[in-house]
Amino acid sequence: MNFRIHIPEPKTPLPDIKTGEGLLQWISTVDHKLIGIMYLWTSVFFFIVGFAEAFLMRIQLALPNNTFLSPETYNQIFTTHGTNMIFLVLTPMIIGFATYCVPMMIGANEMAFPRLNAFSYWTFLFGGLLLYASYFAGGMPNVGWFSYAPLSEKFFSSTPGVDYWILSLLLMGIGTVSAALNLAVTTLTMRAKGLSMTRLPLFVWMVFVNSFLILAAFPVLNAGLFMLLIDRQLDAHFFLSSTGGAPIMWQHLFWGFGHPEVYILALPAFGMVSEVIPVFSRKPIFGYEFVAASSVAIMLLSFGVWAHHMFAVGLGNTFNAFFAASSMLIAVPTGVKIFNWAATMWGGSVKLTTSMLFALALLVNFTIGGLSGVGFALVPVDWRLTDSYFVVAHIHYVLIGGSLTGGLAAAYYWFPKITGRMLSEKIGKWHFWLFFIGFNCTFFVFHFLGLLGMPRRVYTYADFPYLGSLNFFSTMGAMVFGSSFILFIVNIFYSLRHGKKAENNPWNAWTLEWLTTSPPQPKNFESVPLVKSRRPLWDLMHPEDPDWKRGNSKKTQGHE
């Protein structure tokens, strides 16, 4: 028995969704779908910028003692590359998908605070532009994306680059925190009738947990950023040891943010593959409760591991032991998910669409990245390998192999919903294989480079054995990797024009967003069915075998 529930109009009328046409519509919109799309395009744009930065670095590093880039240019590029990829590519990617999909996945027509949503996006965008404005202001920041003091203090970095970096991160942080607040409140208050918290689609659940990570971690960054700004501009003494300050304090504050930040980037990607893999295996995810619980465990633990970035600082055996323990511990909930995802396929009927291929690539690549991370938790191994190319391998495997790959899986999965057209599977397969091969060729060798003694953040290196050949091989890989991205853009533009028109539910998926049209109407739903399980559409499509009869849902009396 499934009857539709009409979604009541909100008490105070929302701003008119379609105000104006064209550019004005985009600038003034408060519609979560349009804002989500803006986030995603921003992410794509800055990926091009960040990849160009990476490619310049790879050319410089292809040969030993190369002189393609001056040291100062290289140092500015690697700093901006890191900041760009984390804050201007991965962050808008996850927030974009969350903003677009979460309301629809819970059967809502809008987010809790539509105006705040718009504010979040524009503040974030201006923050990002501010980072690049530093180029015109006398020099981009050149102190690394985590800007260690005292190198980032005025005495050692007299150009305004660092100040722009600080202000840029503050602005982007405000945007991100308000988006997280919006997402959390939306999930708490705007769920469809019958959609209890334990029936949430895993993507929504991960985004929800993630919001708390963001709410708690970014303020710590803000504290550190303000202190650095005050040091630089008002001559305070927080991080300069010559005047009584403590450089290590910056590290504590930054990594107190920095470590939760990387889980902030990873958790939504986990949510994405948790949606994609079940749909293309044609059965529910293996162990919903474990996967959901493990993300809560990760959220709590991630605040207790930050000093594993500081094992080489010499803070003592007890200190190191504590953080080694917590860091190894956090690997367990993260790793367990990999098994859950792989097991979802067993007993299923696996369809290898491009989206599914990317999801599976995440399983492989993120495991490699996660394992190298666990290596660093082993303190003596960290004492050999931290700040070398081994850690550069690790971060790229978890961030690209984890976060970005999840985003690409999500892109192929939700593109039909967002645009009403299917992405070409043919181009998609080429995209995937070039991506997978290019990515691994570029970054796997970094493990060896680190073992061979190449430090990170060097604009060149001496002609010691194997360093040149491995670096050259990596640069070749980067070209393949870059070409995969070009194919992705081609796929997007081609499919927008000529792609097959998508039906409402091209993948036969089971969550509420697939009830809407492709693309959705400005008002997502006129009405939604009463939700009785984690897969409302499965129940609709299989009335003879609904989830709630099989005990797949929590037995609750209606809305919780």
Partner 1 sequence: MRRFLDTILHFFGKMSTSSSPGEDYINRLFLFFLILCGVIMVVVIVMILTGVIRYRSGRIQGEPDQRTGNRAVEMTWTVIPFILVTFFLVLTIKYMKAINSPSAEGKKAEIRIIAHQWWWEMEYPGYGFTTANELHIPAGRDILVQIESADVIHDWWVPDLGRKIDAIPGRINYTWLNSQKPGEFRGACSEYCGAQHAHMLIYVVAQGKEDFDGWVISQQRVPGPPADSTGAEGARLFRERTCISCHNISGISDDAHIGPDLTHVSLRQTILSGMLPASRENIIKWIGDPQKIKEGSHMPDFMLEKDEINALATYLEDLK
Partner 2 sequence: MMLFVGSESFFFLALILSYIYYSRKGGQLSTTAGNLDIFKTSIFSILLFSSSLTIYLADLGIRRSNRKMLMFWLGATIFLGTIFIIGQGVEYSRLFKQNITISRNVFSSAFFTLTGFHGLHVVTGLIVLAIILFLIVSGRFRHLENQALRSASIYWHFVDAVWVAVFSVVYIGSLL
List contacts with partner 2 (CB under 8 A).
177, 181, 184-185, 215-220, 222-224, 226-227, 230-231, 234-238, 243-246, 249, 253, 256
| Nearer to partner 1 among residue 14 and residue 248 (C-beta) | 248
x/- track of binding to partner 1 for residues 44-83 (CB under 8 A)? --------------------------xxx--x--------
Using the rule CB under 8 A, give the single segment among 46-54, 84-92, 301-309, 329-337 that binds partner 1.
Answer: 329-337
Considering Cα of 260, then 264, then 266, then 272, what sign does the dihedral take? Answer: positive
> Contact at 8 Å (CB) between 126 and 87?
no
> Contact at 8 Å (CB) between 240 and 153?
yes
| Nearer to partner 1 among residue 173 and residue 450 (C-beta) | 450
**Binders in 443-462 for partner 1, by CB under 8 A:** 448, 451-453, 455-462
Largest CA distance in the chain: 75
Using the rule CB under 8 A, give the single segment among 37-45, 85-93, 240-248, 492-500 that binds partner 1.
Answer: 240-248
Contacted by 349, from partner 1, partner 2, none: CB < 5 to 8 Å by type: partner 1
The nearest distance, CB 55 to partner 1, in angstroms, is 19
| Nearer to partner 1 among residue 123 and residue 388 (C-beta) | 388
The set of residues, in sequence order, having a beta carbon less than 8 Å from that of 414 and lying 6+ positions away, is: 97, 100, 101, 513
Which helix (H) or strand (E) segment holds residue 527: the answer is strand 527-529
* Alpha-carbon gap, residue 270 to 495, rounded angstroms: 26
Query: In sequence order, what DSSP letters do the residues of 127-151 get, joined into one string?
Result: HHHHHHHTTTTT----STTTT-TTT
**Binders in 172-211 for partner 1, by CB under 8 A:** none
| Nearer to partner 2 among residue 148 and residue 433 (C-beta) | 148
| Nearer to partner 1 among residue 86 and residue 377 (C-beta) | 377
| Nearer to partner 2 among residue 195 and residue 225 (C-beta) | 225
**Binders in 332-351 for partner 1, by CB under 8 A:** 332, 335-336, 338-340, 342-351
Q: Which of 281, 302, 354, 474 binds partner 1 (CB under 8 A)?
A: 281
| Nearer to partner 1 among residue 4 and residue 550 (C-beta) | 550
The nearest distance, CB 235 to partner 2, in angstroms, is 4
Q: Which of 63, 116, 133, 329 binds partner 1 (CB under 8 A)?
A: 329
* Residue 331 sits in the site that holds partner 1 (CB under 8 A): yes
* Residue 163: strand, helix, or coil: helix
- The distance from CA 488 to its chain's CA centroid, rounded to whole angstroms, is 18
The nearest distance, CB 327 to partner 2, in angstroms, is 21
* Alpha-carbon gap, residue 174 to 184, rounded angstroms: 15
Half-sphere exposure for 303 (CA within 13 Å, toward CB): 15
The nearest distance, CB 534 to partner 1, in angstroms, is 9
* Residue 437: strand, helix, or coil: helix
Query: In sequence order, what DSSP letters do the residues of 467-508 get, joined into one string?
Result: HHHHHHHHHHHHHHHHHHHHHHHHHHHHHHHHSPBP-S-TT-
Considering Cα of 510, then 511, then 514, then 516, what sign does the dihedral take? Answer: positive
> Contact at 8 Å (CB) between 487 and 426?
no
> Contact at 8 Å (CB) between 405 and 361?
yes
| Nearer to partner 2 among residue 23 and residue 234 (C-beta) | 234
How many chain residues interact with partner 1 (CB under 8 A)? 96
* Residue 402 sits in the site that holds partner 1 (CB under 8 A): no
* Residue 288 sits in the site that holds partner 1 (CB under 8 A): yes
* Alpha-carbon gap, residue 32 to 352, rounded angstroms: 31
Contacted by 235, from partner 1, partner 2, none: CB < 5 to 8 Å by type: partner 2
* Alpha-carbon gap, residue 330 to 304, rounded angstroms: 9
Considering Cα of 367, then 336, then 252, then 79, what sign does the dihedral take? Answer: positive
* Alpha-carbon gap, residue 355 to 538, rounded angstroms: 20
* Residue 312 sits in the site that holds partner 1 (CB under 8 A): yes
Half-sphere exposure for 343 (CA within 13 Å, toward CB): 11
Using the rule CB under 8 A, give the single segment among 114-122, 393-401, 413-421, 469-477 that binds partner 1.
Answer: 469-477
Contacted by 181, from partner 2, partner 1, none: CB < 5 to 8 Å by type: partner 2
* Alpha-carbon gap, residue 169 to 148, rounded angstroms: 15
Contacted by 236, from partner 1, partner 2, none: CB < 5 to 8 Å by type: partner 2
* Alpha-carbon gap, residue 271 to 405, rounded angstroms: 12
| Nearer to partner 2 among residue 243 and residue 469 (C-beta) | 243
| Nearer to partner 1 among residue 348 and residue 420 (C-beta) | 348
* Residue 255 sits in the site that holds partner 1 (CB under 8 A): no
Contacted by 358, from partner 2, partner 1, none: CB < 5 to 8 Å by type: none
* Alpha-carbon gap, residue 379 to 126, rounded angstroms: 40
**Binders in 217-236 for partner 1, by CB under 8 A:** none
**Binders in 93-122 for partner 1, by CB under 8 A:** none
Phi and psi at residue 200, to the nearest 5°: -60, 140
| Nearer to partner 2 among residue 240 and residue 362 (C-beta) | 240
Which helix (H) or strand (E) segment holds residue 5: the answer is strand 4-6
Contacted by 135, from partner 1, partner 2, none: CB < 5 to 8 Å by type: none
Using the rule CB under 8 A, give the single segment among 8-16, 25-33, 132-140, 541-549 that binds partner 1.
Answer: 541-549
**Binders in 132-161 for partner 1, by CB under 8 A:** 142-144, 148, 150-151, 156
Q: 392-415 b/e with 16+ CB inside 10 Å = b?
A: bbbbbbbbbbbbbbbbbbbbbbbb
* Alpha-carbon gap, residue 282 to 372, rounded angstroms: 32
